[in-house]
Amino acid sequence: MASDIRRHAVLPCPNRQLTNRCRWPRLRVLIKSDFMTDRISAIVNDSLETKRRFFEAHAGEVERAAEMIAAAFTAGGKLLLFGNGGSAADAQHIAGELVNRFLLKRRALPAVAFTTDGGVLTCIANDTGFENVFARQIEALGAQGDICLAISTSGTSPNIVAACEQAREQGIRVIGLLGRDGGSVKSLCDLALIVRSDDTQRIQETHNLIGHILCELIEAEIFPVPNRLR
């Protein structure tokens, strides 16, 4: 694409009288194209490097997380997911892949994202505080044998901390999908998957890949290969 822009940017103006007026705008197009191409490359390389560093150090922990969730499903437990903002979207994304299907034609798996019921969320936030929006749902719906997947790029969100504390009180195991140094949520997790980066977008991109890998490994653990969709 950059070469196409560069090729068109150096075409001469059809009207010689307009040459001086055309030259500089076209030069700006060329400079902008090079800048944007370099920036895209830098963003992609940074994202890939963040993922590489994480999986080189923590692939075994991702495998363990998948095994924990698969074992919970096999024993009749549920996966309870929650997060804020982009992490809320990640929670819903993972839940959707498990309830419906990822790569296999198979039965639905019981995964619940606590970020989707506007009535419940606003009721709890209005009456008892936003820090309780996930903890109260765990108290209502969680049981021993379930797994909580707490997603937080900072590891410090008060409602994530409260939810993990509630899960521990009920004997529910917690897997943390975290960023930076894991924050205060790290110590509340049975297993913490920490993407050690200070860039929220790089953490979220790696979380998204971890989520897809978990879905694929969980399906492979529970269901036979012949049901693969592609």
Q: Hunting for tokens 């902008």 — which residue is that? A: 32
With H, G, I as helix, E, B as strand and everything else as coil, classify residue 86.
helix
What angle in degrees, to the nearest 10, is found between the helix axes of 86-99 and 200-222?
A: 10
Looking at the chain, the number of H-run helices and the number of E-run strands are 7, 5
pLDDT at residue 22 tops 70: no
Q: How confident is the model at residue 12 (pLDDT cuts 50, 70, 90)?
A: very low
Assess whether pLDDT exceeds 50 at residue 10. no
Q: In sequence order, what are the residues at sequence separation of 6 or more whose Cβ sits closer than 8 angstroms to the Cβ of residue 184?
A: 155, 156, 161
pLDDT in tens, 35-91: 888 899 999 999 999 999 999 999 999 999 999 999 999 999 999 999 999 999 999
Cβ–Cβ < 8 Å for 32, 48: no
CA distance 97 to 143: 22
Q: What is the pLDDT of residues 105-133, one digit of tens each?
A: 999 999 999 999 999 999 999 999 999 99
Q: What is the pLDDT of residue 34?
A: 81
pLDDT tens digits, one per residue of 152-167: 999 999 999 999 999 9
CB atoms within 10 A of CB 191: 15
